Structure 1
Amino acid sequence: MPQTRLDLDRIHAARSVIDPVFLDTPMYRCDALGRRLGCTVSIKLETANPVRSFKGRGTELVASLLAERGRSAVVCASAGNLGQALGWSGGRRGLDVTVVASRRAPAAKLDRIRALGAELELVDGDFEMARERAATIAQRRGIRLLEDSLDIETCEGAATIGLELADKKSTFDTVLIALGGGAMATGVGYVLKTLAPGAEVICVQPMGAPAMTRSWHERRVITTESMDTIADGVAGRYPIPAVLDDLLAVADDAVLVRESSIIAGMRLLLEHAGLVVEPSAALGVAAVLEDPDRFAGRRIVTVICGSNVDLNAYHHWVHG
């Protein structure tokens, strides 16, 4: 069992806390996509839920814990999906939820955060500036700061995806996971390395936001001065040291992909799987497109992690 901050017993217990609407998401083989990519492709669909991303698995744990302890408020920084999920989970438990996001975040994500009842504060900078502002708010108000990937609940919530994959371990040999802050990659990777150690865990990140991937290869935290990618959900500049340590223990590889491959991946998921996805969710397909020989004949699973996308931008990418 890999040495990380995660605990398998807690991950199993998480399933009794998380609303069933986020659990046991569809996983199915997509032969049309597989024929196009030259390998057997299965899709793990994390968008068929009220917040259209996997983030609800983690926010359910956080919100339940806060409610049990009598806490009344929570704040987070978000690229969009975490804020929606926290708004949903916190709202159902009577928590006051504040979300700090970049003004440059997709309008569709910001609108959904507001619609779910969260207080939304916008900053002019990128996600890292939003993270700093959220920490300031938490300190000033004396409320809980939820830090995605650093807070273990976000990782162990995402790790329940791994439990569901491990139940089907005979159907795949490689799992492709979008890599941003690292909650999903470390969570799913930990479970697979524990329960299905024969499966290869490959993390995928855009070349325009490569900090965590570079850090994984260098085995030390590498920060970047800027980022430039349409995959806003995985765009960060400052890897968290504790999360990197976990990732080093559970990931077999971390690769970078070009923007053109991300867009091609979105187009293929629409054409061959009938799925409208945000750029982060197409990273796995992009990785196969960039290195088809590596995956030829393999049995892969790609986790479709989110579908909160601005439709105007989506049409421009996919049909432009």
Structure 2
Amino acid sequence: MIELADIQAAAARLHGQVMDTPCVESRTLSHITGAQVFLKFENLQFTASFKERGACNKLAQLSDEEKRRGVIAMSAGNHAQGVAYHAQRLGLRAVIVMPRFTPGVKVERTRSFGAEVLLHGDTLDEARSHALQLAAAQELTFVHPYDDEAIVAGQGTVGIEMLRAVPQLDTLVVAVGGGGLISGIAVAAKAIKPSIEVVGVQALRFPNMFNAVKHAALPQGASTIAEGIAVGTPGHITRAVIERHVDDLLLVDEGDIEQAIVMLLEIEKTLVEGAGAAGLAALLKEPGRFRGRTVGLVLGGGNIDPMLLAAIIERGMVRAGRLARVLVSARDVPGSLARITAIVGEAGANIDEVHHQRAFTLLAAQNVEIELVLQTRGRDHIQSVLEALHRGGFQAREQ
């Protein structure tokens, strides 16, 4: 089994090749969660993900013959970019097999590093099977995204850096897909500071490591916004390490992850993808579990599709009450809409959309239903807008 010495050797190989990213406290998130929260900004790596650590460590140890033939990998994006970038830097041929659902931003970025990208299958397992066939046919070295000791050792350098930067950390919360990151971090952290608690976080829709380690049988979903940890089959190497060194595994739902993405963007001004926000999602979901602790979170990656991000931000505004849909019933006479918009404006809300509905309503024929989408300051502000409309003689409710 992998040991601290392997991770220290990886750290020596990676020196000058990957960034020693900042690990700093978020005072605002600390206040919100009741824990002292430190963030490890792996989304600042050149490929915007910790994945290039393992990829670089693996490629650096290939034989001359393996380097001549080239490498192949399967990935939903971040591992692909890590392999492609460091293969390009070392002058190696790289073939990357990606599932068809992979966000376009990750596909194009991978191609930009000179890799040959093939889209195949609807799952990581299908992409892996195709990649293994190509590896055998073309004599390419298969670079697994997580179930490889060199990969695990490379990812584990994150743990060494976190404890070097913040020795007082007593809890590490790490997203889990195949388990490469948390395995490496757990080995390093437990060797350096045996008392530290290591907690894994999986998406509820892809609880495969949770099921394996806790002997559960939770169903697997079809998709998640945390596609970076949407892994169907846990690694053999990583499962053994997790069972030995990881103290607990938690599950978070899609709404938890969306909330964490928006909070990191708004509070820390940093962009993370779904998998990168899973750790914070766990703190927000179970604050009592971490209250009073000194917690390190790994912001694992920042590669998120812009259209998905836009949808997440808008949904976050709805949850926070800063975007609201209000239905107003009024007499269908000239000036009614003008009076409604004037009242809303005087109450300090901004109108995003207006839908004037005459036909598709159960109101009397001489009445009209007006749907307003409003930008507000929050829940209390929505209520004050509704009260202002009521005082103006209109029936109004939030939908």
TM-score by length of 2: 0.76
Looking at structure 1, the residues matched to 97 and 4 of structure 2 have their Cα atoms a distance apart, in angstroms, of 31
Alpha-carbon contact 2:66-2:140 (below 8 Å) kept: no
Residues 1:197 and 2:188 are matched in the alignment: no
Tell me which amino acid in the other structure corresponds to 1:159.
G
Q: Where in structure 2 are the equivalents of 1:78-157 lying within 5 Å?
A: 78-157=75-154
Counterpart in the other structure of 1:174: 171
Are 1:262 and 2:241 an aligned pair?
A: no
Structure 2 residues without counterparts, runs of 5 or longer: 316-399
Residue range with higher mean Cα deviation, 183-192 or 142-151: 142-151
For 1:229, which of 221, 224, 249 is the aligned residue?
224
Give the one of 304, 308, 311 matched to 1:313.
Answer: 308
- In the alignment, which of 32, 35, 40 is matched to residue 39 of structure 1? 35
- State the superposition RMSD in angstroms: 1.7
Report the structure number with the largest CA radius of gyration. 2
Work out the CA distance in 1 between the residues paired with 2:222 and 2:175: 16
Q: 2:302 & 2:62 partners in 1: Cα distance?
A: 28
Aligned to 2:11: 15
* Partner SS, residue 171 of structure 1: coil
Percent of matched pairs sharing the same residue: 29
CA distance in 2, matches of 1:147, 1:291: 33
Q: What secondary structure, in the 3-state scheme, does the structure 1 residue paired with 2:12 have?
A: coil
Contact 2:174–2:200 (Cα < 8 Å) also in 1: yes
Which residue in the other structure is 1:186 paired with? 183
User: Does the alignment pair 1:278 with 2:273?
Assistant: yes
- Which of 47, 55, 61 aligns to 1:59? It is 55
Q: Distance in 1 between matches of 2:6 and 2:41?
A: 23
C-alpha offsets along residues 159-192 of structure 1, whole Å, 9 cap, x if unaligned? 1111112224533211100100111010000111
Look up the SS of the partner of 1:157 in the other structure: helix
TM-aligned CA deviation for residue 21 of structure 1: 4.7
Query: Do the aligned partners of residues 110 and 251 (structure 1) sit closer, same or farther apart at CA in structure 2, a change above 3 Å counting?
Result: same
- The change in CA–CA distance for 1:86 and 1:298 in structure 2 (over 3 A counts) is same
Corresponding pairs, count: 314
Of 231, 238, 248, which aligns to 1:243?
238
Question: What is the Cα deviation at residue 228 of structure 1?
Answer: 2.5
Say if 1:98 and 1:14 are closer, same or farther in 2 by CA, change over 3 A.
same
C-alpha distance in structure 1 between counterparts of 2:97 and 2:218, whole Å: 22
Distance in structure 2 (CA, Å) of the matches to 1:10 and 1:69: 23
Structure 2 CA distance for aligned equivalents of residues 224 and 202 of structure 1? 21
How many angstroms apart in 2 are the aligned matches of 1:124 and 1:70? Answer: 27
Residue in 1 aligned with 2:387?
none
**In the superposition, relative to structure 1, how do residues 85 and 232 fare at CA in structure 2: closer, same or farther (>3 Å)?**
same
Letter in 2 for 1:251: V
Deviates more, 1:75-84 or 1:139-148: 139-148
Contact 2:23–2:166 (CA under 8 A) maintained in structure 1? no
Seen in structure 2, the aligned counterparts of structure 1 residues 180 and 275 have a Cα distance that, compared at 3 Å, is same
- Secondary structure of 1:28 counterpart: strand
The separation in 2 between residues aligned to 1:267 and 1:87, in whole angstroms, is: 29
- Distance in 2 (alpha carbons) for counterparts of 1:15 and 1:204: 25
**C-alpha displacement at 1:117, in angstroms?**
0.5
Any stretches of 5+ residues in structure 1 without a counterpart? none
Q: How far 1:14 sits from its partner (Å)?
A: 1.4
The answer as to whether partners of 1:277 and 1:307 remain within 8 angstroms in 2 is yes
Equivalent residue for 2:161, pick from 152, 157, 164: 164
| Cα distance change of structure 1 residues 38 and 225 upon mapping to structure 2, 3 Å threshold | closer
Distance 2:167 2:15 in 1: 27
CA contact (8 A) 1:175 1:301 kept: yes
Q: Distance between the aligned counterparts of 2:218 and 2:2, measured in 1? A: 24
